[in-house]
């Protein structure tokens, strides 16, 4: 029986969600008939058996130190999994660092490689690649790190008008995203920029229908329309039951569905994704076009996550999805 190790937890702002993903994935892998284990990469001294519902909330900020990385590498070599499922979100899981370590240790894993992961995580790079594939994307520009005052930001946003989006380049789960509807939102946005350390971009706001589409093994699955009951599809709406309506499959015309599938598969291939990814678009209310927003190389796998929901609409159970992802 193959031994699969799911990595979760870690050091990012999405640690809590990653642990939920890790527990769900490890149980799904066990249900698929594998020997399934779980490891928190921030505390790698102990490996947990699937089904124990591991949960650990440390006091204070979790620190990524060379000693922890060395301990993790040693544990991976000693445990010798047949394959690793990377259930991390944000940070070292999505920016390619964990994938680079696994590649260095020659341990096979589910998901995109280190280079592709880094490109997916960087919203600027992924938008450049989408644009090179002639896929529409909202206009954007960098915010210089020194322009993080209310006055400087106000000046930068002026050509865009309101509403407008400010977002971090390397965060997931809508962490580091602010939609400004007026100057009254400037102060909140400046606080966010200072609290969530990252590079930031200004992005044109496009009003329309929010769509997310998984691509698994190179093929687009059912798209999902996300209808938040208030605001936009942020961290709270992603992980709080009952505050967002999911429509799966999204109610689109045949032409819209075909275009969405084509765009999603083109971005997936152009960036070099492997196994699976989830790609977000917006269907503009004003011109009826689909606009690429971002690609997530390690989408969530919690009970509220979109990839399992889309797979289920195709008759694929969670354990069957794990089987599909684990096999080459």
Residue ranges per structural domain of the chain: 3-110, 120-136+208-326, 140-204
Could you check whether the bond before residue 119 is cis, i.e. omega within 30 degrees of 0? no
Question: Phi and psi for 221 in degrees, rounded to 5?
Answer: -100, -170
| Fold classified for 120-136+208-326 | D-amino Acid Aminotransferase; Chain A, domain 1 (3.30.470)
Residue 234: predicted pLDDT? 46
Report the b/e string of 38-57 with b at 16+ CB within 10 A. Answer: bbbbbbbeebbebeeebeee
- More confidently predicted of 90 and 115: 115
CATH code: domain 140-204 is 3.30.1490.20
Cα within 13 Å of Cα(219), Cβ side: 8
Give the contacts of 155 (CB within 8 A, at least 6 positions apart). Answer: none
Q: pLDDT (tens digit, 9 = 90+) per residue, 112-124?
A: 999 999 999 998 9
Mean pLDDT, residues 269-293: 97
Smallest CA-to-CA distance from 15 within 62, 60, 81, 49 is with 62
Give the contacts of 229 (CB within 8 A, at least 6 positions apart). Answer: 237, 243, 244, 245
Taking the CA atoms of 42, 47, 102 and 14 in sequence, report the sign of the dihedral they define: negative
| Fold classified for 3-110 | Rossmann fold (3.40.50)
Q: List, in sequence order, every beta strand (DSSP E) within 132-275.
A: 140-143, 164-168, 177-180, 200-204, 208-216, 219-220, 224-228, 244-247
H helices of 122-246, in order, are: 123-132, 150-157, 186-195, 235-239
Structure tokens at 134: 């002639």
Report which secondary-structure segment, H or E, holds 11.
none
Portion of the chain with pLDDT greater than 70, in percent: 94
Has residue 70 got a pLDDT over 90? yes
Portion of the chain with pLDDT greater than 90, in percent: 78
This prediction has a pTM of 0.89
Question: Phi and psi for 131 in degrees, rounded to 5?
Answer: -65, -40
Residue 230: predicted pLDDT? 61
Has residue 33 got a pLDDT over 60? yes
Q: pLDDT (tens digit, 9 = 90+) per residue, 172-208?
A: 656 789 999 999 999 999 999 988 878 899 999 999 9
Has residue 235 got a pLDDT over 70? no
Cα within 13 Å of Cα(145), Cβ side: 5
Residue 237: predicted pLDDT? 43
């Amino acid at each position: 029986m193959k031994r699969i190790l799911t990595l979760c937890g870690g050091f990012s702002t999405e640690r809590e969600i990653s642990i939920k993903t890790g527990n769900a994935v490890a149980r799904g892998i066990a249900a698929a008939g594998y020997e399934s284990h779980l490891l928190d990469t921030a505390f790698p001294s102990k490996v947990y058996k699937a089904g124990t519902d591991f949960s650990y909330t440390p006091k204070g900020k979790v620190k990524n130190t060379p000693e922890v990385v060395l301990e993790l590498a040693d544990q991976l070599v000693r445990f010798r999994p047949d394959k690793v499922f990377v259930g991390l979100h944000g940070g070292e899981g999505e920016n390619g660092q964990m994938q680079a370590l696994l590649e260095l240790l020659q341990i096979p894993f589910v998901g995109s490689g280190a280079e592709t992961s880094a490109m997916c995580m960087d919203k600027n790079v992924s938008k450049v690649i989408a644009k090179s594939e002639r896929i529409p994307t909202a206009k954007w520009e960098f915010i210089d790190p020194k322009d993080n005052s209310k006055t400087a930001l106000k000046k930068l946003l002026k050509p865009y008008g309101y509403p407008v989006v400010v977002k971090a380049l390397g965060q997931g789960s809508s962490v580091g995203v602010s939609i400004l509807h007026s100057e009254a939102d400037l102060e909140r946005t400046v606080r966010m920029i200072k609290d969530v350390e990252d590079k930031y971009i200004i992005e044109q706001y496009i009003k329309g229908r929010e769509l997310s589409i998984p691509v698994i093994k190179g093929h687009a699955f059912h798209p999902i329309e996300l209808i938040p009951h208030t605001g936009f599809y942020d961290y709270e709406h992603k992980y709080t039951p009952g505050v967002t309506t999911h429509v799966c499959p999204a109610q689109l015309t045949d032409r819209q569905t075909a275009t969405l599938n084509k765009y999603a598969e083109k971005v997936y291939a152009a960036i070099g994704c492997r196994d699976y990814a989830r790609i977000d678009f917006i269907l503009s209310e004003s011109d009826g076009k689909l606009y690429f927003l971002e690609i997530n190389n390690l989408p969530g796998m919690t009970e509220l996550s979109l990839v399992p929901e889309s797979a289920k609409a195709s008759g694929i159970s969670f354990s069957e999805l794990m089987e599909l992802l684990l096999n080459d």
